[in-house]
Structure 1
Amino acid sequence: MIEVKDIDKSFGDNDVLMGISAKFEAGVTNLIIGASGSGKSTLLKCMVGLQKPDNGLVSYDEREFTTMDYGERIDIRKEIGMLFQGSALFDSMTVEENIMFPLNMFTEQSKEEKLERVNFCLKRVNLENTNKLFPAELSGGMMKRVGIARAISMNPKYLFCDEPNSGLDPKTSIVIDELIKEITEEYKTTTIVVTHDMNSVMGIGDYILFLHEGKKFWEGSNKEIAHTDIKELNDFVFASRFMKAAKDKF
């Protein structure tokens, strides 16, 4: 479980996060949603230590991450997997080398052990025998799946996904959503997905945190979101679904 308590973050006079508190449980898909500028990406960065909150605490299974020094944070960072918005694969590396990169950095496994783990991860995301391909030879959906394979290569306890469906067609987006949910349930990871994709919200949103103008406006499940009477949330849901329908049409 990851817990955030009373997180504040400002940049100059711009208050980006104001008193955000939430609990993200293991084994379920936790989604952070909100319009651009709502603070969801800043919250994710505070949670993984890329930015320091002005106030508040972030804890990983009751280990207070925000109060740790750099050396103490390394052990937790080894337990974190990241899927970046643009996949963030190294263009000059093969699929195999990309997935092996964190294993080379953080483990002392033999070459054979690393390759075995790479092949296991590729099989898990249905990309067997793509080891020697380069990112330029992959489709957008394949790149996302390689990104997921790299993210789970260290068998993480915590998995962060930043806009995993960005730039993908609806069919491929569903494949990525289902893969994230399957991995979360299979390995009991604490998975947090930052997204504005309402199909993802309705499809895999076990727990949803809605941010609006830096504040926590609502939390609940995808079964509850359609029955809320909060105007800001309804406006976001309607606008998101309308815009996606328009994009799909044209």
Structure 2
Amino acid sequence: MIEIKNIYKTFGENEVLKDISAQFKPGKNNLIIGGSGSGKTTLLKCIVGLHQPTKGQVLFNNEDFTAMNFTERVPIRKEIGMLFQNSALFDSMTVEENIMFPLNLFTDQSHAEKQERANFCLERVNLKDTNKLYPAELSGGMKKRVGIARAISMQPKYLFVDEPNSGLDPKTSILIDELIAELTEEYEITTVIVTHDMNSVMGIGDHIIFLHDGRKWWEGSNKEIAHTDNKELNEFVFASKFMRAAKNKL
């Protein structure tokens, strides 16, 4: 389990995060949503250690990650998988080499063992026999799946995903959502997803945190979100419908 306690983050005079506390549980799709500038990506970076919170704690299974130095954080970092918004694949590496990259960094496995793990991960994301392709030869959806394969190569306890559906068509977005949800449940991963995609929210949102103006404004499940009377959340959730309705009146 991941727990964040009273997280603040300030850049100069700009207070981006303000007293945010929450728990993210294993086997659940934990979504962080909010409008542009609400602080959701900054919060994700604080949790994984890319930003140091100005105040507050990030706990991984009750271990205070924020209080650790670089060396002390290594065991937890080895348990973290990360899928970046643009997949962040190395263009000069093949699909197989991209997936084996964290294994080369953090394990002493033999080449054969790493290759076997890469093959397993590719099969799990339905990309069997793509080992020798380069990122330039892949579609956007395939790149995301390779990114997921790399993220799970170390058998992580924690999976962090930043805007997984960015740049994808609706059909591919649903497939990516379903794949993340399957892996989360199958391996009891604590998954934290930053997204603005309401299809993802309604489809896989087991636990949702809505940020507004740097604060936790609402918390609940996708079953509860449709019945909330939270004004700012409703405006965010139904924004596209409001825009279509306004357009139809013109």
Question: By the TM > 0.5 criterion, same fold?
Answer: yes
Instruction: Please tell me the TM-score bracket, short chain as reference.
Output: over 0.9
The alpha-carbon deviation at position 69 of structure 1 amounts to 1.1
Partner SS for 2:165: coil
Q: Could you tell me which residue of structure 2 aligns to residue 152 of structure 1?
A: 152
Q: Could you tell me which residue of structure 1 aligns to residue 172 of structure 2?
A: 172
Q: Could you tell me which residue of structure 1 aligns to residue 214 of structure 2?
A: 214
The alpha-carbon deviation at position 243 of structure 1 amounts to 6.5
Amino acid at match of 1:232: E
Partner SS for 1:156: coil
% same residue: 74
Larger deviation, residues 192-201 vs 6-15: 6-15
In 2, distance between residues paired with 1:54 and 1:91?
A: 35
Partner SS for 1:223: helix
Q: Could you tell me which residue of structure 2 aligns to residue 42 of structure 1?
A: 42
| Structure 2 unmatched runs, 5+ | 246-250
Q: Supply the RMSD in Å over aligned alpha carbons.
A: 1.4
In 1, distance between residues paired with 2:241 and 2:192?
A: 21
- CA deviations over 1:43-94 (Å, ceiling 9, x no partner): 0000000011010000001011000111110110000000000000000000
Q: Could you tell me which residue of structure 2 aligns to residue 116 of structure 1?
A: 116
Q: Could you tell me which residue of structure 1 aligns to residue 248 of structure 2?
A: none
The alpha-carbon deviation at position 7 of structure 1 amounts to 0.2
Q: Which runs of 4+ in 1 moved over 6 A?
A: none
Partner SS for 1:159: strand
In 2, distance between residues paired with 1:204 and 1:177?
A: 7
The alpha-carbon deviation at position 241 of structure 1 amounts to 5.5
1:13-162 matches, cutoff 5 A: 13-162=13-162
Q: Could you tell me whether the CA contact under 8 Å between 1:196 and 1:240 is conserved in 2?
A: no
The count of residues paired between Structure 1 and Structure 2 equals 246
Amino acid at match of 1:225: I
In 1, distance between residues paired with 2:10 and 2:166?
A: 27
| Structure 1 unmatched runs, 5+ | 246-250
Q: Could you tell me whether the CA contact under 8 Å between 1:17 and 1:43 is conserved in 2?
A: yes
The alpha-carbon deviation at position 213 of structure 1 amounts to 0.6
TM-score by length of 2: 0.96
Q: Could you tell me which residue of structure 2 aligns to residue 194 of structure 1?
A: 194
In 2, distance between residues paired with 1:153 and 1:8?
A: 32
